[in-house]
Amino acid sequence: MEILKRNQAGITLLELTIVLVIVGLLLGGVLTGKVLIDLAKIKNFETDFKNLQLFIYGYQDKYGAIPGDDLNVVAHVGGILATTPTGLQGNGVINGNWNSTISTDESFLFWQHIRLAGLVSGSTVITAPTYMPVNVAGGSIGVQGGTSIPANTPINGGPGQTNPIRGIYIICSAGILGKDIKIIDADLDDGNTATGSMMATPTFGYAIGAIATTATAINDEAPYTLCMGI
């Protein structure tokens, strides 16, 4: 009697090893790609903070005035002269809140002035939907003058959480994840998000005069507003 032998079907150890190697390579590529994207995003945030300093000083060097605060902006770049706060134009301070949407505020018109000066691209039409800039996370970004008044500062930190962030100008950027905030603060400041020249506070519920959040209390996956004094 002839014994019929069935061909064995299945995956050999070698084939399984090859499959696992391929899967590993694919996963490694995906993870590496994500890391690179995250690092690029962080560098983009950091560049925003650095560039805004260059825009302020570049305008000042060229026109002898501060963008947004320029009394002779019409003659200099053909921009709109700020009228609020009343009587403070030309005092060397960017008055108005960093996130102001009031079209007569210095902090709002700051963007038109630096764009007309050719320092950065973007719409110069203050009513355009794209006039107000956003960071790579889609959060608002802006600048205002520094102040010693806790209620008027973008963010308060330090002992007692009532010390306004220090600086002649304060740059703020919203909607940055906590895990990125920690890296940015460590790169550009002291690594403590409640002290130094950089401070962070939750973006949700944010208002001028907000209290800074310490690094140990930062939620990696929650969005924060990060401010830097220069």
Three-class DSSP category at 86: coil
Whether residue 8 has pLDDT greater than 60: no
**Quick check: pTM over 0.75?**
yes
**CATH code of residue 217:** 3.30.1690
The pLDDT assigned to 15 comes to: 63
Rounded to a whole number of angstroms, the CA Rg of the chain reads 25
The string of pLDDT tens digits covering residues 131-164 is 999 999 999 999 999 999 999 999 999 877 889 9
In a domain, 26, yes or no: no
In a domain, 95, yes or no: yes
Reported in sequence order, the residue ranges of the chain that DSSP labels E, i.e. its strands, are 141-145, 155-157, 163-164, 169-177, 198-202, 210-211, 223-229
In a domain, 16, yes or no: no
* Domain span including residue 153: 43-229
In a domain, 24, yes or no: no
For the chain, the domain total comes to 1
In a domain, 2, yes or no: no
Of 155, 73, 147, 139, nearest to 106 (Cα)?
73
The string of pLDDT tens digits covering residues 65-79 is 999 999 999 999 999
In a domain, 8, yes or no: no
In a domain, 18, yes or no: no
Contacts of 118 (CB under 8 A, 6+ apart): none
In a domain, 21, yes or no: no
The string of pLDDT tens digits covering residues 179-194 is 999 999 999 999 999 9
